[in-house]
Each structure stands twice: as structure tokens, then as C-alpha cells.
Amino acid sequence: MNVEELPFNKLIGLKDTDHSVELDCAPKHMNHVGTVHATVIFGLAEACSGKFIIEHLSQDFPAALAVTRNAEIRYRNPGAGHIVAKVTGCEPPVESVIERLGRRGIAKITVEVEVTGVDATLATSHFEWFLKNNV
């Protein structure tokens, strides 16, 4: 699965690149003060965390269920133009999650994502994912 294929992600027009999820903001992405709407930033960050889950777990667990369980975002600066979301870390480490998912059939992982604009960090976020091996 590619995060670009999900209906909401298609709607906003995000692009899945090798190491990030990106968006060229248009008027439809703006809020009432002319900057990128908070929902767009959140959606980009969530899609990036999902991309991380797909890339790191789908090979070992192609039938696994992954759903966002909890999210926290801190908006730091307004944005416009080209914005980029990148994973900055995860807890626990992926290897530990893979081992636990194989052994117990369920696991949790928190993925940290930073969204940046042309010259500033727009937001930092944490997405907790619940994982279930459906084999």
C-alpha cells in the first residue's frame, strides 16, 4: 500500500517520496489567516507515520492491522508553500516491535514526525499505533 492511495491523502494531494511525505500547498489548504490549515499539517504528519509503519512492518507482517490509537501534535510556526513531513524517531525500536508482534500477535509503537516548511519547523508530533498480526 502507498499512502498516496488513501482517499483523504488523494484529496489533499500529498506525495509519497523516498524519505518523506510532501505537499505543495494551494489555496484549498489554507486557513482563515492565509497559512496552512492545522488539519492539513496533522494529516501530513499522520500519513508520514503510516508510511513508516508500512515500510517497516509490511514485509514481515503483510496481513497486520495497524490503526492510530493516540496522537499528539505541537504546532510551532505558520506555514505556506512546500511542506515536508519526516520521521524523526520511534519508540520502542522497530526490531523490538517486530519481535513482539511475532511472539504475542499485538504490539504498540509511537512514531515521531516533524513537519517543516521552507525555513521553519511547523509542527512536531507523536502517533501511537496499535498493531495486530492477523495471520
pLDDT tens-digit profile of 95-104? 999 999 999 9
Nearest Cα to Cα of residue 40 among 26, 28, 29: 29
Q: Which CATH class is domain 3-132?
A: alpha beta
24-68: per-residue pLDDT in tens? 999 999 999 999 999 999 999 999 999 999 999 988 898 899 999
Nearest CA among 100, 115, 106, 109 for reference residue 128:
109
Taking the C-alpha atoms of residue 40 and residue 28, their distance in angstroms, rounded to an integer, is 10
What is the value of pTM for the model shown? 0.94
Confidence category of residue 1, pLDDT binned at 50, 70, 90: confident
What is the distance between the terminal CA atoms of the chain, rounded to a whole angstrom?
18
CA distance 36 to 102: 40
Cell numbers found for residue 102: 511475532
